[in-house]
Every structure is written in C-alpha cells, then in structure tokens.
Amino acid sequence: MEVVVQAQCPSPSLSLPAAGVSNMVSKLAKACTLRISPEKLNFIVSDKVANGGVSMWCELEQENFFSEFQMEGVSAENNEIYLELTAENLSRALKTAQNARALKVKLTNKHFPCLTISIELLSVSSSSRIVTHDIPVKVIPRKLWKDLQEPAVPDADVSIYLPVLKTMKSIVEKMKNISNHLIIEANLSGELNLKIETELVCVTTHFKDLGNPPAARDAAARDRDPAQMAEVHLDIRRLLQFLAGQQVGPTKAVCNIVSNKMVHFDLLHEDVSLQYFIPAFS
C-alpha cells in the first residue's frame, strides 16, 4: 500500500493551500481521518452527531494542489486509503513549507506507519536543504470505512447565508461569558438571531437582509411562513470552536437549521469545501 504526492512550486515562494486547510482542521479537531483517493483528499471528523458529537467533511480536489500524484489503494475497486492522524502534527509540518521549492508526501513504514513529508527549502545562498517530518498515522482497515463516508445532509427547515464569520466569532465570544449554550434561529426572510437566555438576562444579536439560497427558499416557502423562525440550542463552545477555525473568510457560507436537532454549516473556500455538523444541546 503506497501513496506518493509531489507538489512542484512554480516560484521560490510557496504559499501552500493545504497548510491553511490543515491549520483550520487542527482548530476544529484534535484527531481526524485523512481519506486519500485518486481525485480527492478529505479530512474527516466522524463523532456521532446522534451521541452529541460534531462531524466534519472537508474536501480538496487533488489537481488543485499537486502537480504529480500517485497512489495504490487496497484494490482497483477500493482505491482509497484512510489514515488516522493528529491534525496539529500535520499542520506544524506544513507550516515549514511556506517558502518551499518543492514538497513531497509519502506513506512510509519506519517501525510504525508514517506520513513522511519532505520539504525542499532554498537558503539565502540559493542552495537547497531538505527538511523531513515523520507524522505517525494509523492505517484504518476497510471494514471501518463505512463509518467514514460523506455525511448525509439533512432536510433543513431554514437555510440562510451567514454574516461575516469574524463578526459572529466576536459576538459569540462575548456571549460565552454569560451562558454555556446559545440559540441560533433564522427564517426565510434573511433574518438570523444569536440569542442567550438565563434567569437573569436575555441577550439577542439580530442580523437582517442576509439572504436565503434560492433553491432552499423556494422549496421550503411552499410549506412555511417566511417570517417563521427555525431554532436550535447549541453548546456555545462547539459553535465557537467552529468559528475560531475559520481564519480566512469563505467565498460562500450557508447555515442549515434542522429545528431542535442540529445545525449544518456549508462553507466554500476557493478550492476547498467544508461541511460541519453541530447537534442540538442536550
């Protein structure tokens, strides 16, 4: 079983998109699964939402990140590799590639399975040196793959575009000082509220004119009053963890609310898509 990935930089300065992705993932989860296939890379967190855990599905197209790519999976019919790793280890390794000339990733066995990252760096004298990182991984057997598939997107009661995520993060950080949970509610008129309620105080932040995705709006509007709010109670720490992981504003950000069950965030960062599921607070 082997995976070889090579990325050749067209200029002496390499701002590797995968470094930003791995940094984002490391803020969302301590451990994750890396799924490698001929066309795509996926970072997966699969805590069971039904049991109160969050889930994440992050997808990258191979051709947008690597100039050369070779892999051999279990078989031609199951040409995939699933690796469990510590997200922060990968993030630290890729941070050293910010000014790399070339980067190579390979699955190796050095007394234990490793994702070996070799980075060619240019020095001031234009000579090069190689920095190698061996990241311990666990190869996940095929019988467990069924638990690591792309999550089914639930039928939402309301879908709405999100406001600027940095603004949301600032507000939620302040609310966290008052309560451990938060209510997020939205309707089909482009209104979204962040609300906390305690015995002593009720605080609500209102966002208006955010807009709703056309398809979701048209489908739901047939059976729903546009002004009617759908709401879900969330663990405020889980929401803040998600917002803290978004270092760069997405080109698209949608919030899908399944009343009293979960919230599903669907983000698009140029060549990277991210789905994040947070269950209702219990």
Quick one: pLDDT at residue 57? 94
What fold does the segment set 2-148 form as a domain? Proliferating Cell Nuclear Antigen (3.70.10)
Residue ranges in the chain whose pLDDT is less than 70: 1-19, 48-52, 63-65, 67, 74, 124, 216-222, 247-248
Angle at 100 between CA 94 and CA 102, to 5 degrees: 95
The CATH class for the domain spanning 158-279 reads: alpha beta
- CATH 3.70.10.10 placement within the chain: 2-148, 158-279
What is the model's pLDDT at position 71? 73
Q: Classify residue 213 by its DSSP letter.
A: -
Name the amino acid, one letter, at 168: M
Quick one: pLDDT at residue 154? Answer: 80
pLDDT at 171: 96
**Residue-wise pLDDT tens digits, 41-84:** 899 998 765 456 789 999 988 766 676 777 777 677 778 889 99
pTM comes to: 0.85
d(CA 142, CA 78): 9
Which token pair is 95? Answer: 């941070």
DSSP 242: H
Instruction: State how far the Cα of 75 lies from the Cα of 35, in Å rounded to an integer.
Output: 15
pLDDT of 219 reads 59
